[in-house]
Structure 1
Amino acid sequence: MADFLFEGTVVMNNSKHAIILDDHGLFADAFSLLLERYTLFDFVKTCNDVADFFTFLNAFNRESMVIFLDYYLREGNGLSLLSEINRINKNAKIVFLTSAMSPLLIQTLKRYNPAGILSKSCSVGTLKQCIEDVAAGKSFVDPLFQEILDQQEGQQLNFTAREIELLKHVANGETIAAIAEKMFLSPHTVIAHRRNMMAKAACQSMTHLVTLAKDQGLL
């Protein structure tokens, strides 16, 4: 059975792979060491930027693997990467990592049906349970997050990954023209998205909408 060579490391093609995408280097490296220490995977790849992540993913595009994906990234957010991940590797199972405690964010992540949603402050026992459930084809929500959802009341905002990506550009102070170019949209479409989001959130301005999104942990 053939092996693969990636960045000087030989990896057996029947290995249980894990990829960590988190641009906080210290956390990513510590998390990788934790996975290796408890031999939860045969091989763990740590990526601190999106380009490195997709280079690895393309190299192993037919392998079954678990991707631990940070929600908050410098280059957008984890939700904005889902369609490309699924296009490259349909065997990948995605577990979102986040330190946020926002019910709205957790509910938003759940709507995209990831294999798991895990708190960065979870215990080793919770991490092991998550990996076991994911391997068995079950979905996993950190008990801490589930408790928050169980206590949640009121109507939820249904922002899409694309809308959240656009909103982050707005929060960065970018113009409509710049957002349109980056997102491959027409300026008219950007304006329409902005209006739709304000209507969903019952906000009278983009400033109010950005503040609400930040308060709710979406940005």
Structure 2
Amino acid sequence: MKSLTCAAVLDDHLLFADSFALLLQKYGTFEAVSSFSKVDDFLGFLQSFGDQKLYVFLDYYLSEGNGLSIFTDIKRWNKQAKTIFVTSAISPAVIKNIVKYKPHGIISKFADIKEVVKCIKLVESGISHIDPRFAALLTQPDKPGINLTPREIELLKYFSQGNSIAETAAKTFLSPHTVVAHRRKMMAKVKCRTIAELLTYARDNEVI
């Protein structure tokens, strides 16, 4: 494969981020690969990098947020970025939600290096790629209430950590009224009556 450009890896498990970055450097023929385990560090890098060609390998499950919300930031700040999700998710709801946001690629953390290189080649040629491991998941019928937005998933993560409405509002820079409105909307989607039921649903479907 011809030499590409720069790449960045964001995964809140530092050992994985560093190890995957080394593999990309060796087999992906990128000029430089940066690895990050903290969202703020990655976003700082993204803003300073500017609107240059960049490959981003992004985890879905992040302790400081959600990969889909980060994907939204990437698209806003760098129109040339190619984003590939690298995920351990096996839930049809999660994979379908990622696909809905149209990243350039999705690969499983259980994939071998050949699959990673194949994905990079296809994306470089302008073709989006989804790991074959997810094919069967995408054909399963939808369940009601799984259409949660990145913001809603982010709020669910804070709720699952025991944060109150006020604490969640402060951490997400929203008003308490807006947080309550989001929570009410999520509960209506999932058809549950309590926050405990909502969190149970989210965990059962591996949304958080």
- State the TM-score, normalizing by the size of structure 2: 0.92
Give the superposition deviation at 1:34. 1.2
Q: Determine if contact 2:91/2:206 at 8 Å carries over to the other structure.
A: yes
Which letter does structure 1 place at the counterpart of 2:160? A
Q: Determine if contact 2:11/2:59 at 8 Å carries over to the other structure.
A: yes
Ranges in structure 1 where 5+ consecutive residues have no aligned partner: 1-13
Ranges in structure 2 where 5+ consecutive residues have no aligned partner: none
Within 2, Cα distance between the matches of 1:39 and 1:131? 7
Q: 2:198 aligns with which of 202, 205, 209?
A: 209
Q: 1:127 aligns with which of 92, 105, 116?
A: 116
Q: 1:105 aligns with which of 94, 98, 101?
A: 94
RMSD: 1.6
> Which structure 1 residue ranges, 4+ long, deviate > 3 Å from structure 2?
none
Paired residues in the alignment total: 205
Task: Show the 5 A alignment for 1:143-158.
Answer: 143-150=132-139, 152-156=140-144, 157-158=146-147
Hey, what does 2:56 align to over in structure 1? 67
- State the TM-score, normalizing by the size of structure 1: 0.88
Higher-Rg member (1/2): 1
Q: 2:128 aligns with which of 130, 139, 147?
A: 139
Hey, what does 1:87 align to over in structure 2? 76
Within 2, Cα distance between the matches of 1:99 and 1:65? 23
Hey, what does 1:218 align to over in structure 2? 207
Q: What are the superposed Cα offsets for residues 102-126 of structure 1, whole Å, 9 maximum, x if unpaired?
A: 0000011111111111101102221
- Secondary structure, counterpart of 1:45 in structure 2: strand
User: Kindly tell me: are residues 63 and 188 of structure 1, through their superposed partners in 2, closer, same or farther at Cα, counting changes over 3 Å?
Assistant: same
Q: Percent identity of the aligned residues?
A: 47
Within 2, Cα distance between the matches of 1:212 and 1:154? 14
Higher RCO, Cα 8 Å, sep 6+: 2
